[in-house]
Structure 1
Amino acid sequence: MKLFSSVLSPYARKIRAAIHALGLVDRVEIVNVDISSSPAEVVALNPLCKIPTLLTDEGTGMYDSRVIVEYLGMVAGSDILVPATGPRRCAVLRLQALGDGIADAAILYRGLLAAGLDADARLAARQMAAVTRGLATLERMAAESALGDVACPDAGALSVGCALGFLDARFAELEWTGQYRALAEWYGHLTATDCMRRSAR
């Protein structure tokens, strides 16, 4: 298999972390690409030309990150990242949606500002409000020990961790760790796990 990735993409990092967590390192080649140049290999597999995109052993393109996580779990014969059934599955998918949603809003916010929109413009402010509400929700969950077992993170925890890593890299001015102490402590434990450490690059 081949994963088309980018170092700073939180969604691609989630898949790199999943590959390590599932023990698939020897089965997936990771290829970093400049997606802004619309690389032909990615376009051929994913009409949206987005990363991450996974080329399966059968020659099929898999996208987006949520689908790839599920697919890799099937390949590995493991449901440690996404439970197969039941309420726990819904809880993991919900947390994954929150983590991805924070990343979505942060990336859109940066894009709007790069396009010349003021930070206090309605559309830009709406994205940053989504980020801060998401962080506040995660803070409550961390305080209630509702973010899962950090020692064995699931897809929800990986999504949240990779979104927080993106904020660290691109939004240092937020200084979110000083505002959300329970979440920062949880994140510190998560980033010490093998799959998060090894997916950082």
Structure 2
Amino acid sequence: MFTLYGSDASPFVRTVRVTLIETGLDRRTERREVGTNPMEPDSTLTAANPLGKIPALGRDDGPTLYDSRVICRYLDAQSGAGLYPQSRLWEVLTLEATAHGIMEAAVGMVYEGRFRPAEKVHEPWIEGQWQKAARALDSIDSLWVSHLSGKLTGAQIALGAALGYLDLRHAGRDWRAGRPALAAWERDFAERASMVATRPA
């Protein structure tokens, strides 16, 4: 049995939740909702992950795993789902890392506005984070879309979660504008049963 510590709004947690469904391991997983932020980490979470970050995956047969990429690789290895095919492993890992970079930038923008006093919010820093995400989105649209076709991979899952988070927290930025290939891919991928089941309310 597994215990997943996380929050439904987190794109990192959603990546793991989708992976759990796609590997069939969700039936063996208990979910534990934890709220956390850098200033007030949840004590239940820090007991599982000393960094106080989500997601974390408790296991009956070993120490808790954390970092969504570590957890997803573990779930893939446990299930044999083939989400990280050896024949194109480096492309999958690079695209997965790009998706995680988008998540990190997007979450950082939210944190800047949520946890700093209004007079200390640094708008140029927020814009810098968005430009980082925008460059990544442009690169995927122009160079990486062909790698999003075919059998499901961990990169596709991470990117789907990243784009879903942009819609959730940064809808006004309209990430689809000027990126028709990526927008078309996301439109189809968002209708996968695992994505629908994990869509934040």
User: Given the two structures, how large is their TM-score scaled by the length of structure 1?
Assistant: 0.89
Whether 1:39 aligns to 2:38 is no
Contiguous gaps of at least 5 residues in structure 2: none
2:70 aligns to what SS in structure 1?
helix
Question: Match of 1:82?
Answer: 84
Selected match of 1:65 from 42, 62, 68 = 68
Whether 1:131 aligns to 2:133 is yes
Q: Distance in 1 between matches of 2:46 and 2:178?
A: 41
User: Given the two structures, how large is their TM-score scaled by the length of structure 2?
Assistant: 0.89
One-letter amino acid of the counterpart of residue 118, structure 1: H
Contact 1:53-1:63 at 8 Å conserved across structures: yes
Question: Match of 2:178?
Answer: 179
Q: Distance in 2 between matches of 1:124 and 1:171?
A: 12
Contact 2:105-2:132 at 8 Å conserved across structures: yes
Q: Distance in 2 between matches of 1:131 and 1:198?
A: 26
Moved over 3 A (4+): none
Contact 1:45-1:61 at 8 Å conserved across structures: yes
Q: Distance in 2 between matches of 1:11 and 1:91?
A: 20
Contact 2:12-2:68 at 8 Å conserved across structures: yes
- The alpha carbon displacement at 1:111 in A equals 2.1
Contact 1:5-1:32 at 8 Å conserved across structures: yes
2:31 aligns to what SS in structure 1?
strand
Residues 185-200 of structure 1: pairs in structure 2 closer than 5 A: 185-200=184-199
Q: Distance in 2 between matches of 1:197 and 1:94?
A: 25
1:96 aligns to what SS in structure 2?
helix
1:55 aligns to what SS in structure 2?
strand
Question: Match of 1:30?
Answer: 31
Whether 1:117 aligns to 2:121 is yes
Contact 2:23-2:81 at 8 Å conserved across structures: no
- The alpha carbon displacement at 1:59 in A equals 4.6
Contact 2:138-2:179 at 8 Å conserved across structures: yes
Question: Match of 2:164?
Answer: 165
- The alpha carbon displacement at 1:113 in A equals 3.5
- The alpha carbon displacement at 1:196 in A equals 1.3
Question: Match of 2:93?
Answer: 93
Paired positions, count: 193
Contact 1:102-1:163 at 8 Å conserved across structures: yes
1:7 aligns to what SS in structure 2?
coil
Whether 1:107 aligns to 2:107 is yes
Q: Distance in 1 between matches of 2:31 and 2:3?
A: 6
Q: Distance in 1 between matches of 2:65 and 2:26?
A: 17
- Stretch moving more, 191-200 or 127-136: 191-200
Question: Match of 1:9?
Answer: 10
One-letter amino acid of the counterpart of residue 35, structure 2: D
The 1:91/1:79 distance shift into structure 2, 3 A limit, reads farther
Contact 2:48-2:58 at 8 Å conserved across structures: yes
Identical aligned residues as a percent: 31
Q: Distance in 1 between matches of 2:61 and 2:23?
A: 20
- The alpha carbon displacement at 1:125 in A equals 2.7
Root-mean-square deviation (Å): 1.7
Contiguous gaps of at least 5 residues in structure 1: none
* Residue-by-residue CA offset, 1:41-72 (whole Å, 9 max, x unaligned): 22112110110000012251101000000111
Q: Distance in 1 between matches of 2:176 and 2:41?
A: 35
